[in-house]
Every structure is written in structure tokens, then in C-alpha cells.
Structure 1
């Protein structure tokens, strides 16, 4: 639902979730989990945090385009309300804010309401329509994902796992970071990468599509959005996924230590149980799929980290 006044439009979306209101509130309040919960969200970073006030930076897609903005949030655990306002909005948005409201229902369910108010730069009608479509699409997507995530919590616990690989490099964090950052050169630098389509639509925000070769010789196409933090980390979220995954987020980190740098590749994965039999055979289990996916991702990560190590130590 959208209403309009002279300069500001208002939108309201809601959904019923079969879970206690306090649990739903916590899920929304903990923004570090948003890339795993909300499909449009690529990465969220805390800039400031104290008491019930916080400042966060969000990287997300809007109508298929990657955007970034900073927001201030006020958390009200007792009232189960979270108000937010973008500090500097991404064009064509001039101003945007809103409120999450979670209400406990008599039957044990929760009513989740998501309110928005927004303006377009110059109050341009075409931009207002674009924003309206983005708010509607993202709100529906976020609420549906929230409902699914909470209601399938027990199943998701079995299907969700995280792991990491680390190598110690006798070189600089900058040189190791640069190797991962310069993904447009991976076709020449990494044997398991067959094709790369790389773009940086805004500083620190990258789009990376590539074909990678698995151990069995097959080739898989993936697309990711990446957020860079020179020279300490690169966070990413895959938006085109292999058949065995419904979600894959990752984080490359580069931590200085006395003799060099510890370079780590972290992965969080949610398996797609509907495709396990088709990909791995009728007798394959969730554990088989987990082992297969972790082996494939870890093999590529360790290979990439190994080449980053050689690159950094050669430049030392």
C-alpha cells in the first residue's frame, strides 16, 4: 500500500509469521545476519554502536542494481519497534526512513509491519515511480524471506553451515588484499577460473561473474556482489548459485601478525535439499551434500589463497 502527499510518499507492508514476536524482533535487530536473511542485502557493517542507537552501512540491490547507504537506527526491544533513517541516500532517493513494528498475536503468531517514507531528488515523478517499485519489491522480498527464515529455523539449522581456510603469508596485507581485489585478472592468475566479467559500478562496490572449474572438470557460473574494505577485508554475496546452494556469503580477511599476514576465506552456506538427489544421486544425504559443497569451495579458496601468498611474497 502506498500513499502520497505533496513531497513524500508512504508505503506499508505486512506479513504474519508463525513465531513469537520477541524472536522475530531479535532477528531483525541483529543486522550482521541480514545477508543470510534478506535476498537484496549484500553486506551490513556497524559504523557506530551504543545503547539503543546505532549507525550502520548497508550494501544491497534495488531493482537489480547494487546500492549503498548509511542509516541510523533506534532499537526499542520492549516495544518491539526499530526506526531507521538513511543518512545519505543513493540516487535517485533524496530521503528515506521507516519503522519495523512486530506485534504479538493472540494465536501465538506475529504480525510484522514494515513502514517506509521517502522522497526523490527534485521530486522527479519518474524517480518516485522507480523508488516505489524498489521499495515494494524489496519490502515484499524481505518480509517473505523473514517469514521463511523464522518458520524454517529448525530445518535451516541442519542445512546451514560455515567454515574457513587460512594461510600465513610472509608479505604485506596490501599485496595479499590486492590479489583478491583485482578479480578482473583472475583468468590469467587462477587456473580454476575460466571466465571473468568484472565491474565496479561505485568505489568499493563490485560485480563479479565468473566460470570456475570443479575437481571433476565441470564448469559452474556464479555471480557475486562484493564490498571492499582496503586493505583488511572483502565481503561478498553470490546472487547466481550452483544447484546445491540456496545461499552463499563469504568474507576474505587480511590480519597482520609479526611475520606477515594471516589471509582467511570464510564461507556461510545454506544447502538446497531439493537438488541433492539430482546432483549427487538418489541415496545422497544432507551430510553428503555438505561435504561435497565444502570440499568444492574450500579447494578453490585454498588455491586462491595459495596464489595470493605467492604473489605477496614475490612482491615482498
Structure 2
């Protein structure tokens, strides 16, 4: 059995314990503030336990996916996790988040991990430890950043959805969206169902921009939908890219208009392309 190696880091967050704990609990938002995370899906939820699939960018290049089982202990303010699909060189990986109240406005957050490597190779173990330590620091910094902005999240977070009915083949609509979204930095493709994206090189007035395109078939055609979520930098007020908006509320409204116009333009073009494809397919049939 591989030797079990441990590590961990902690950070003091200028936020109440319930806030810091809630940031880690809500894994559906991790792609917005955890730099490597591209997408998450909760596959199962039973009481305090959940099974999560997580996609993340590794080494700034490839996207990989893992299954994690988490247990959320709200009374002890502790979250444990186990990687159920470790890949070499890791033979196992588990850990925990713990939260301790310093005072009503401060929380100490600790991220602990425990792992084993294939064949117990010392060099591999050292590199794995360095990687795990780096991941812990990045995650703690991200949790701190979001938790400390909790009072202004309603101003700096923007999320909206919209959609169009397309009377054309789902394959054509998907192919169009796939081509258009290729300009995004990172994307996950679920053929003819969903395309998830995350901008890695975001504009200077944003901290994050993520979203997805969805395709739902029904008897009337295909509903093509879009969801976009952005985190605006608190310093974005006055940014030229946001129309020089004087306040964060104005900046948020301007960004909503910008993203909405671009999103609807893509949806309309996807509709036109798919319905044009349908017409081209039906043309030869109708002429027989």
C-alpha cells in the first residue's frame, strides 16, 4: 500500500464563518472564482453527502475531469472530500476543509490533504506534494477573495439566461455554436446537448466570465439557450469598456446590455443557420 503523505495550508479571511463556509459548500460557483475549475456537476446528493464531477485546467493546457465524493458537516463547519477517480501518479487523494471563528468578522480556513503515489517513488511524491500545496494555496486565496466581497456580491455578480426557438435540426444548431464558441479560451463539448465555456484571459474590468449554450429538443423544434455569469471587479466603475459607468450598479447594467446583445446575436445566427439547413434538406424532397 502506498505511503500516505499529508499537507495543508490555512488563511485568515476577513468574513464571518458562515460566509466562508458557504463559499466552499456551493461548488456550483467554483468555476467562477477557482482559476483552474472549468465546470462542476452534482451527480448525486444524499443528505449531507454528494458526488461531484469536476473539470479543471491542468498545467494551463489540458482539461481533465475527476469524481469527488464530499460530506458537508454544517454543525462542525467541516467539509471532507475523496477523489474517487485518481490518475497516476496519484494512487489516492482525500482531504478536508475546516473553519474556525477568530471573531465575528474573521475566520481561519484550513485546507488539508492526504495522498499516496503509485510505486511510492520519492521524486514523484515530492512533485505531487508540491502540486497539492500549490492547489491548496490557490483555492484558499480564491475563497478568501470571494468571502471578503460578500457584502457586494449582488453588485459584482451578473448572471442571466435567454433562449430562442429553432425550427431546424439540433445537429446544425450545435455545429454552429461549436464553431462560434471555439473563440473562447476553454470549453467543454457535450455533443448536441451543451457547450460550456470559461474565459481564461478575461477583460481587465472582470475577474471571471463563464457560461454555457444548451440545446433542448421537443416537438416544436429545438430551444437553444444561453447562460452567462460574470464577476465584475470592484474597481470597474469608470472603466471605458463599461461605458465609463459611475457606479458598480451602472457598470453591471452596461455589462448586461453588452453580453445580452452579443448572446442574442449568436442565438439568432444559430437559428438562421439551422433553419437554413432544414430548408436546404427539405428542398430536394419537396421538389420530387
State the TM-score, normalized to the length of structure 1: 0.78
Alpha carbons of structure 1 residues 298 and 129: separation in structure 2 relative to 1, 3 Å: farther
Q: Mark the runs of 5 or more structure 1 residues left unpaired by the alignment.
A: 187-195, 197-207, 211-222
Q: Is the contact between residue 63 and residue 134 of structure 1 (CA under 8 Å) also seen in structure 2?
A: no
Whole-Å separation in 1 of the counterparts to 2:231 and 2:166: 30
Whole-Å separation in 2 of the counterparts to 1:61 and 1:125: 26
Verify: 1:305 aligned to 2:267, yes or no: yes
Q: Match of 1:95?
A: 92
Verify: 1:245 aligned to 2:206, yes or no: yes
Alignment of 1:1-316 (within 5 A): 7-65=3-61, 66-106=63-103, 108-181=105-178, 183=179, 186=180, 208=182, 210=183, 223-280=184-241, 284-316=246-278
Tell me by how many angstroms 1:227 deviates. Answer: 2.1
Tell me by how many angstroms 1:55 deviates. Answer: 0.6
How many matched pairs?
A: 276
Whole-Å separation in 2 of the counterparts to 1:59 and 1:15: 25
RMSD (Å) for aligned C-alpha atoms: 2.5
Tell me by how many angstroms 1:39 deviates. Answer: 2.0
Instruction: Give CA deviations for 1:158-177 in whole Å, capped at 9, x if unaligned.
Output: 12111223111012333322
Alpha carbons of structure 1 residues 29 and 288: separation in structure 2 relative to 1, 3 Å: closer
**Bigger Rg over Cα:** 2
Q: Mark the runs of 5 or more structure 2 residues left unpaired by the alignment.
A: 279-288
- Find the residue that maps to 2:200 and give its secondary structure: strand
Instruction: Give CA deviations for 1:236-270 in whole Å, capped at 9, x if unaligned.
Output: 21110112211111111112232111111111111
Tell me by how many angstroms 1:134 deviates. Answer: 2.5
Higher helix share: 2
Higher strand share: 1
